[in-house]
Amino acid sequence: MPTTSTLRMIAAICVLSLAAACGAGGSPGGGGGYPEQNITIVVPFSAGGPTDTVTRMIAEPMAAKLGAKIVVQNVEGAGGTVGADEVANANPDGYTVLMHHIGMSTAPALYANLGFKPLESFEMIGLVTEVPMTIVARKDFEPKTLQELVTYVKANAAKVTLANAGVGAASHLCGLLFQTAAGVKLQEVPYKGTGPALTDLVGGQVDFMCDQTTNTSGQITAGEVKAYAVTTPERVKSLPDLPTTAEAGLPELKVSVWHGLYAPKGTPQDVVQKLTEALKTALADQKVIDQMAKLGTEPVKAEDVTPQAHRAKLEEQLGIWGKVIADAGVKAS
């Protein structure tokens, strides 16, 4: 029969083993000791693009809050679905997360064989920002106002070129809404990203496009493009003279590119909570606020930096864009 001292030793070993399994104050299988290694945020688009820019803004303050290094990894392809699929199938341990934009809500309507389900394959961490879109044209394009643009494209639909960053891109979706609101079908010119599309717009190779303020503010301010309107209910602080689409006579054209942070389904809730708190800290950082302001956007309100608000937004947007894309008869190859 074991002695009292032996029983005490066994009990002590059990307590230590349980503590190790739980982490510092956590529960078995949870993330009490999280993070214990580098965290990767996958951006499913090219480096230097709007989503990549927003991600790199928040990475440093999030890392400081979590006490671990954050690595931003660009995994581009198929309108963001390649990177999203990679994260959906990653270990649900909180070390691989995803920054995605409005494309998460359009992918099911665009892609017939999507490898993930937006509402079922991820744990939502929180919303990040909503970036306004702008309607911009080559600087020598004839129309001077948004109403003149609508009149002009209706009369010249066969020759006007509307640039975008490819099927499913934010610029493509905004372009679809413009054509619906204006009651016209235009010749679309797809590019492999907003960067080359905007370069050709500045160079006069295409007529106009719709793109995020994070990508167009510099060119608008420098006078390299002609700007007609911003697609949000309120004017953008960094572009105070640019009217909203409602003010400019096209109230039906309302769209912003929202971003959210995701973890693979099954990630422990205490890990998700730590990521959410780190995101809240980053979005309250004055440096981040100032950086976003220069690009014509701002962090979402604190109450939207939650898994619940994020899920509600995604559900709403899936319904909206599913109908828009179906009505337009658009499919990604």
How do residues 219-273 score in pLDDT, each as one tens digit? 999 999 999 999 988 899 889 999 999 999 999 998 889 999 999 999 999 999 9
pLDDT higher than 70, residue 2: no
> End-to-end alpha-carbon separation of the chain, Å?
72
Amino acid at site 139: K
pLDDT, mean of residues 191-199: 86
pLDDT for the residue 192: 78
pLDDT, mean of residues 197-215: 94
DSSP 41-57: EEESS-TTSHHHHHHHH
List the alpha helices (DSSP H) in 125-259. 146-155, 170-182, 194-202, 213-222
pLDDT for the residue 5: 46
pLDDT higher than 80, residue 8: no
pLDDT, mean of residues 106-116: 92
Give residue for tokens 């054509």: 179
pLDDT for the residue 328: 81
Q: What b/e sequence results for 53-75 when a residue is b if at least 16 CB atoms lie within 10 Å of its CB, and e otherwise?
A: bbbbbbbebbbebbebebeeebb
Answer for the pair 31, 274: CB distance below 8 angstroms, yes or no.
Answer: yes
pLDDT, mean of residues 206-210: 97
Q: To 5 degrees, how large is the angle CA 153–CA 155–CA 157?
A: 55
Q: What is the pLDDT of residues 63-100, one digit of tens each?
A: 999 999 999 999 988 888 999 999 999 999 999 999 99
Give residue for tokens 């299988």: 29
Tokens of 114: 């999507």
pLDDT for the residue 215: 85
Task: Name the percent of the chain lying above pLDDT 70.
Answer: 90
Q: Which of 50-54, 126-130, 307-311 has the lowest mean pLDDT?
A: 50-54
